[in-house]
Amino acid sequence: MDSVTEASQGQEVTGAEAIAGAFTVDAEKVRAHVDEVVRGTVEQTLNALLDAEADRACNAARYERSPERQDTRAGSYERKLATKAGEVVLKVPRLRKLPLETAIIERYRRRESSVEEALVEMYLAGVSVRRVEDITEALWGTRVSPSTVSELNQKIYQQIEGWRNRPIEGDHAYVYLDGIWLKRSWGGEVKNVAVLIAIGVNADGFREVLGVAEGTKEDADSWRSFLRHLKQRGLSGVRLFVSDKCLGLVEALGEFYPEAAWQRCVVHWYRNVLSVVPTGKAKEVAAMLKAIHAQEDRQSAEQKAKAVADKLEGMKLARAAQVVREGVAETLAYTAFPREHWRCLRTNNPLERINREVRRRTRVVGAFPDGTSALMLVAARLRHVAGTRWGTRRYLDMAKLREQAEQIEAAGQAGPTRGTETQEKQETAAA
């Protein structure tokens, strides 16, 4: 009995395999058929909507006799439209008297335009052109050529340029400056180009990207041009600039913002000192340098710096001691501001973190064809960062700075009064 059962089961399996072998499914053909059905449905729907629009414009259906009719049909013309379902052929009706301004095509134009802008944004965000082509093929069923992407870039360039030159509103007490180096092709050679960036903290304590511009080099002329660009757009109320000691930057700051203080980035200064220290002693010296900026006020920090310089000389590190003595005062400007702000003012880290994000996005491009492309990509990325939590989260409590300013002003007003009273008492005693 068992053998009979096994035999019958074997026959059923063999029959199932025979049936499965008789029917084969071509997945590619099925997918192509489904795509064609979807495309055909989209085409029919759009053409039906165009006919309905023509009827509304004529105030009567095709071949309908009506006293309210305002126009008649005059045939149609074909036009192609790329959609997500593929390329469709539209039969756009013609009218004898009235122009047919179809909203159907305009709606699709807007939708396709939004897709185009998304593709350009992807390119400007660092996605390679080849990847953009792959994405367009997935969205539209057709590839967008690199030349088309370049043409689309011009549209978004205008928007970025408008954002880059927008007016700067309100006061920005703290401004961070830095430059980022990118590679560009020039006459068949690859050369470096600097893109200068400025971010600031406004009166409400939020960070803003204030400016980005191409600077052929991080030299005095480039910084002057950049600072002039910022001032012409309305940058005002600056109390402190934070930056590395770039060539010509300090002098340029004195020309355009003479009343603002300058804070040299502590981290960059540490690196300058450690560059003349043997590797074996770098860790010990770094701890000594950090102790300078851990003091409770400027006077204590200056005393600590003097002690550190003396100890460095005792360690036979005369060059490092000289760098400490010559540059420590430039790193202590932050002590004149509220203690709650010190951690954010000692270094250029707020801008360095953005620079790392920009480098991550520009690394995939390699060498840019020109300076404009490099500038646009950096500006586009900065505009994106400004719209994220980075620019919508309060960074500093600026009420502390206002309170400090009020206290200084009150002390300044009280000072001369006390001096005058003392002088009057002295004059009375002398008489």
Residue 398's pLDDT band (cuts 50, 70, 90): very high
Contact call for residues 207 and 390 (beta carbons, < 8 A): yes
For residue 176, list its beta bridge partners. 199, 242
240, two tokens? 């402190």
Interval 223-257: pLDDT, tens: 999 999 999 999 999 999 999 988 788 889 999 99
The answer to whether residue 22 scores a pLDDT higher than 80 is no
Name the strand (E) or helix (H) holding 176: strand 172-186
Name the strand (E) or helix (H) holding 416: helix 399-430
Q: In angstroms, rounded to a whole number, what is the distance separating the alpha carbons of residues 197 and 218? A: 11
The answer to whether residue 127 scores a pLDDT higher than 50 is yes
Domain-by-domain residue ranges, the chain? 27-101, 114-161, 170-392
> Residue range 50-67: average pLDDT?
83
Q: In angstroms, rounded to a whole number, what is the distance separating the alpha carbons of residues 291 and 262? A: 21
User: Residues 6 or more apart from 53 whose CB is under 8 A from it?
Assistant: 93, 100, 102, 103, 104
Q: In angstroms, rounded to a whole number, what is the distance separating the alpha carbons of residues 94 and 98? A: 9
Q: DSSP string spanning 341-390?
A: GHHHHSSSHHHHHHHHHHHHHHTTT-EESSHHHHHHHHHHHHHHHHTSHH
Contact call for residues 281 and 259 (beta carbons, < 8 A): no
259 against 13, higher pLDDT? 259
Report pLDDT for 423: 43
Q: In angstroms, rounded to a whole number, what is the distance separating the alpha carbons of residues 213 and 196? A: 5
Report pLDDT for 218: 63
Q: In angstroms, rounded to a whole number, what is the distance separating the alpha carbons of residues 431 and 411? A: 30
Q: In angstroms, rounded to a whole number, what is the distance separating the alpha carbons of residues 322 and 245? A: 17
Report pLDDT for 105: 59
Q: Provide the residue type at 357 as one letter.
A: E
Rg (CA), the chain: 35
Q: Which residue has the tokens 């010190």?
A: 342
User: Residues 6 or more apart from 200 whose CB is under 8 A from it?
Assistant: 172, 174, 175, 176, 207, 208, 210, 235, 238
| DSSP state, residue 167 | P
Neighbours of 325 (CB within 10 A): 16
Q: In angstroms, rounded to a whole number, what is the distance separating the alpha carbons of residues 177 and 218? A: 11
Least confident of 82-91, 129-138, 337-346, 418-427: 418-427
> Residue range 108-123: average pLDDT?
54
104 alpha carbon, distance to own chain's centre: 35
Q: In angstroms, rounded to a whole number, what is the distance separating the alpha carbons of residues 56 and 71? A: 10
Interval 278-311: pLDDT, tens: 999 999 999 999 999 999 999 999 999 999 999 9
- Tell me whether residue 81 is exposed, middle or buried, using C-beta atoms within 10 angstroms of its C-beta: 0 to 12, 13 to 18, 19 or more: middle
CA dihedral 31, 32, 38, 42 (to 10 degrees): 150
Q: In angstroms, rounded to a whole number, what is the distance separating the alpha carbons of residues 115 and 107? A: 13
Report pLDDT for 204: 94
